Structure 1
Amino acid sequence: MSDRFQRITPFLWFDTQAEEAARYYVSIFPNSRVIGTTRYSREVSAAAGRPEGSVMTVAFELDGQPITALNGGPEFTFTPALSLVVRCRDQAEIDHFWEKLSAGGDPDAQACGWLKDKYGLSWQIVPENIDVLAQNPGSVAALMHMKKLDIAAMEAAAT
């Protein structure tokens, strides 16, 4: 295995927005790029019920993390039971990712740093030391009352 081998990667099912979503996500995160796009062939489109020549999958990286997006149809939609976690160095990063990912979505859908983007995908925007903060009852109590997380408030509540 090479150093770049990533054994487990997210595979996201969209109705028809895989390419649009991949380009949107790539525009938000540094060190990100669209790697390639496959299209439905005549044979596969007939079996899948998708238009021939339309985008089937988009391979992309978000800050170096490989992800694949599929235009699979309306049968499945995202649920908050699965989310992508974005660890942030400081409040400025939390503010940036919260603003960009919640645009057109639902930042009030969940609490505790969770938001739903305009494609229905759930994200958790958290400080990089969330594991340490989550061990402190005061920080956790503060977190439970927040939508977008406030690092200073969580650290101040740590007792």
Structure 2
Amino acid sequence: MKSKISPFLWFDTQAEEAANFYVGIFPNSKINVVTRYPDAGKEHHGKEAGSVMVVSFELDGQTFSALNGGPMFQFSCAVSFVVECETQEEIDHYWEKLGAGGDPSARQCGWLADQFGLSWQIVPKILPDLVADAGSPGAQRAMGAMMQMKRLDIAALQKAYDG
């Protein structure tokens, strides 16, 4: 079932490149529609007729749209996408693929910025269970361990939780 709500991402000129990059990383993903700028409205949008305007795509069933809107707005880590992972292999896959070409200084506690500046959180599905009870010694140890990590390590988090 499709959600009524979907992310709409503003790029300068890389909407199609970004959509293809993301589709190549996530399973069950595809480009749906590429819409191009018309001559009409050029005095407002300033884009060449026929250049990519919006790319509609799906990542593992979640619909996204990407707009080539110009350089006025940039991504920030105030908005990110969470990728819940069952295994360490999944974490490693998404960390390596999404992080390729991104800002290495923007990596902490499972967060990374990709080559387009978009922020992602690559987290183990078990993480909320490990840190939910903030008063428990196990949760405090797991949180302390997580705060020292860049790429999250499921075994190390579980070991910290277990004491």
**Equivalent position amino acid for 1:144 in 2:** M
Q: Give the alignment partner of residue 78 of structure 2, picking from 78, 81, 95.
A: 81
TM-score, structure 2 as length reference: 0.92
* 1:92-131 → structure 2 map (5 Å cutoff): 92-131=89-128
Q: CA deviation at 1:18?
A: 0.2
Query: Is 1:158 equivalent to 2:161 in the alignment?
Result: yes
Distance in 1 (CA, whole Å) between partners of 2:154 and 2:24 is 25
Name the amino acid aligned to 2:17: E
Q: Which residue of 1 aligns with 2:140?
A: 137
1:86-123 Cα offsets, whole Å, 9 max, x none, are 11110000000000011111233131100010000010
Letter aligned with residue 115 of structure 2: K
Superposed structure 1 runs of 4+ greater than 3 Å apart:
none
Structure 1 unaligned residues grouped into runs of 5+? none
Q: Is the 8 A contact 1:106 1:117 kept in 2?
A: yes
Give the letter for the 1:40 counterpart: Y
Deviation at 1:37, TM superposition (A): 0.6
Query: In 1, distance between residues paired with 2:107 and 2:21?
Result: 22
Alpha-carbon shift at residue 53 of structure 1 (Å): 1.1
Q: Is the 8 A contact 1:87 1:125 kept in 2?
A: yes
Find the aligned partners of 1:44 and 1:126 in 2 and give their Cα distance: 43
Structure label with greater radius of gyration: 2
CA displacement 1:11-39 (0-9 Å, x = unmatched): 10000000000001000000000000100
TM-score (norm. length: structure 1): 0.94
For 2:141, the aligned partner's letter is G
Of the three residues 64, 80, 90, the one matched with 2:87 is 90
Q: CA deviation at 1:51?
A: 1.7
**What value does the CA root-mean-square deviation take over the aligned residues?**
1.1
User: Which runs of 5 or more structure 2 residues have no equivalent in the other structure?
Assistant: 133-138
Identity value in percent: 56
Report the CA distance between 1:47 and its aligned residue.
1.5
- Work out the number of aligned pairs and report it: 156
Partners of 2:5 and 2:154 in 1: CA distance: 30
